[in-house]
Amino acid sequence: MSSKTFHVMTFGCQMNVHDSEWLSRALTARGWTEAPEGEAQVIVVNTCSVREKPEQKVYSLLGRLKAIMEAHPDRFVAVGGCVAQQIGRNFLARYPYVRLVFGTDQTGRVPEELDRLAEHGEGRTALLDFEDGYPAQDAVLPEDGPVSHLPGQAFVNIMKGCDNFCAYCIVPYVRGRQKSRQAADVVAECRALVQRGVREITLLGQNVNSFGLDKHGDGTSFAQLLEQVAGIEGLTRLRFTTSHPKDIAPEVIEAFGRLDALCPSLHLPMQAGSDTVLKAMGRGYDMQRYMGLVEGLRAACPDIALTTDLIVGFPGETDEDFRQTLDAVERVGFESSFSFMYSDRPGTRAEKMPFKIDRAVKGERLIQLQSLQEELTAKALAASVGREAEVLVESRSKVQGAGEDISWRGRDRHGRVVNFLWPEEAGDLAGKLVRVRIETAKKHSLWGKAVGEPW
């Protein structure tokens, strides 16, 4: 095994994916080499604690790595992200082979610290402080090749942390208070990415709609930031996530009808369809407000694809509350949703709430909700048949092609997965745009025929 080799393992959201990709690029720039899990000198685990399940996966992984680390004492583990911020130095006490624990504001210091730990062969460190302001982090792009794991696409952080403190959510405790990035820095990064061939950019934040409203903002609103980024010459697609219904401004809704680059898709977490449950969650809006947003979005962009997050079995949720959630999901007609059973997160208000729902009841409700969503997804996909879609190709499809053709996988502007065939001799299509006529709707994706040449 050569020295200074690393392997990054990521759990959780797109912000974690973005942080992991930055770490990989930064380590490579400092002379490290990426290696398989079983061969790397350092394994970096970027963690998520938004729900109980991904947190437990981290402990399971660390237990599995024990045999490797004990057999090779020169190897070690670095644990970062939300669980690292939550558990802190206890990782060092519990796992002897964990030599670095770093919190969500300290990613920028990790490459230098890993250099030091690898060079000295001993020592253990915890980097857990929250920064006052958006944490400094050098821009690192590879000299050539894709800038992310999805050719032609890139994520750009515009803020960190959250000030909402929803009753069930651990994010403000593990990512800190909201800190907006300077708009000029965001635009400069986006412009540099487009110059490197990026066609689609996704702006990331815990609550992008409140960008600029904290003390660290420079006076630029989120709607103004969208305008600036969408105006970058050469940018084909612009998306953003995550969006809190409480804070979305009319100007942002109107942008879906004005900005050509802004894709007709929005992830708008509803969480529940009952006003009683929403109030207990501390979400800051009711269903009248939420449905008003849906109406406004569809007036601005009639074919917008809406997706959402949903929690079933929140403390005190009655059968009637759950029925209202089902009704709301059907009324909106979400194209897809991420739905979960409620689980206690340490330190949140909901953890201490009475009237917890039996796990069996939560499971039954989740099955019912997901069954409804499957029907709505099938309906939305079926409506695409016969239409043409602009597809940004991501990779070869897992489904085999026919004859001399290769099957490719990408997404249309609405975020729907589209598969199509293309001759093998045409070369690599990843990162290119292709017009596809949709011919068939599957359970979670579309199949079509390419029309014209890629560009």
Going from N- to C-terminal start, the domains of the chain cover 5-127, 153-382, 388-450
What's this model's pTM, rounded to 2 decimal places?
0.92
Per-residue confidence at 1, pLDDT binned at 50, 70, 90?
very low
Q: What is the pLDDT of residue 53?
A: 84
388-450 maps to which CATH number?
Answer: 2.40.50
Q: What is the pLDDT of residue 405?
A: 81
- Give, in degrees to the nearest 5, the angle at Cα 188 between 105 and 432: 100
Q: What is the pLDDT of residue 321?
A: 98
Per-residue confidence at 138, pLDDT binned at 50, 70, 90?
confident
Q: What's the fold here for domain 153-382?
A: pyruvate-formate lyase- activating enzyme (3.80.30)
Taking the CA atoms of residue 375, residue 377, residue 379 and residue 381 in that order, the dihedral angle to the nearest 10 degrees is -150
The mean pLDDT value of the chain amounts to 94
Architecture label for domain 5-127: 3-Layer(aba) Sandwich (3.40)
What is the mean predicted confidence (pLDDT) over 174-178? Answer: 94
Q: Token match 């729902």: residue?
A: 357
Q: What is the pLDDT of residue 400?
A: 67
Give the rounded percent of residues in the chain with a pLDDT score beyond 70: 98
Q: Which two tokens stand for residue 234?
A: 């050469």
402 pLDDT more than 80: no
> CA-to-CA distance for 81 and 104, rounded, in angstroms?
5
Q: Which two tokens stand for residue 268?
A: 């708008």
